[in-house]
Amino acid sequence: MDTIFNKINDAKHIMIVADEEHLALASALYTHILREHKKVSLVVEALEVDKKFSFLPWYDKIRTSKVTSCDFMIEVRFSCTEFYKHLKNSKIKINQKMATALYAGILIETDGFLRCVDDGITFAIAKELIECGADYKSSNKNIRQRTTLSHLRLKAIMLKEMLLVNSAKRAVFYICQNDLDISGALIKDCDLIMQESLKLPYVEEVVLLDRDTNDKIIKTIRK
């Protein structure tokens, strides 16, 4: 983190590149760089950025392709906790925009506080972010509760053909391009449905197979 911040100080135009999983954290970093009076671009290389992130600061500034004029690029792969600790250690004030983005990032990283590596530290950070003005209500509503019609249609299609095998320890889903076309969903939308199936009593592994390629494995997740 120190290296990144040192390079930010020396750069004139910083490009932040993130996927949707790290978008909230990227939003917080964007705010920090703006406060340093630097030119900054936020890039998410996707056909369309999920509207559930529209409550985040700077959502309207997101680009879907990289810029060529930057002199320093940051690929966001670190965690909200790492970033938060660096801000605190460096005595950098966390404003409301940063607090909201970081709180949302923690929700994503911990699956709504269900996967906390260290519960005490995570909850303490969340509490401090709320005290800094984090809009936790919007974060919870959009990150944890919001869904789309296309997601519900895809979920119905996938659940209809889901199989439980190996003494119900493995859940098997099937997908094809036609399913995505009919539902209006994207392949990434399968992830949440797969994650949800891990909540079944005995399921330890979830597999997604591609009907278009003779049931080739697309993705496997485990508890």
Query: Which pLDDT tens digit goes with each residue over 40-86?
Result: 999 998 878 888 999 999 999 999 999 999 999 999 999 999 999 99
Which residue among 96, 128, 145 closes a domain? 145
Domain count across the chain: 2
Whether pTM > 0.75 for this model: the answer is yes
Structure tokens at 97: 């925009």
Average pLDDT over residues 25-49: 94
> 169 and 115: one domain?
no
Whether 155 and 116 map to the same domain: the answer is no
Strands (E), the chain: 13-17, 39-43, 62-63, 72-75, 163-165, 170-175, 205-210, 216-222
CATH code, domain with 178: 3.10.310.30
Looking at the structure, tell me whether residues 121 and 182 fall in a common domain: no
Q: What is the CATH number of the domain that holds 28?
A: 3.90.1640.10
Identify the pLDDT of residue 45.
86
Pair 161, 206 in one domain: yes
pLDDT of residue 117: 64
Please, are residues 185 and 156 in contact by the beta-carbon 8 Å criterion? no
H or E stretch at 101: helix 96-109
**Which of these three, 118, 145, 172, is where a domain ends?**
145
Do 68 and 165 lie in one domain? The reply is: no
Specify the amino acid at residue 171: A
If pLDDT is split at 50, 70 and 90, which confidence band does 212 have?
A: very high
pLDDT, one tens digit per residue, over 114-142 is 776 677 899 999 999 999 999 999 999 99
Q: Mean of the pLDDT values across residues 96-111?
A: 96
Domain hosting 181: range is 149-222
Tell me the chain's radius of gyration from C-alpha atoms.
Answer: 19
- Confidence category of residue 201, pLDDT binned at 50, 70, 90: very high
Residues 109 and 16 in one domain: yes
Sign of CA dihedral 74, 75, 81, 82: negative
- 206 three-class SS: strand
Are both 114 and 153 inside the same structural domain?
no
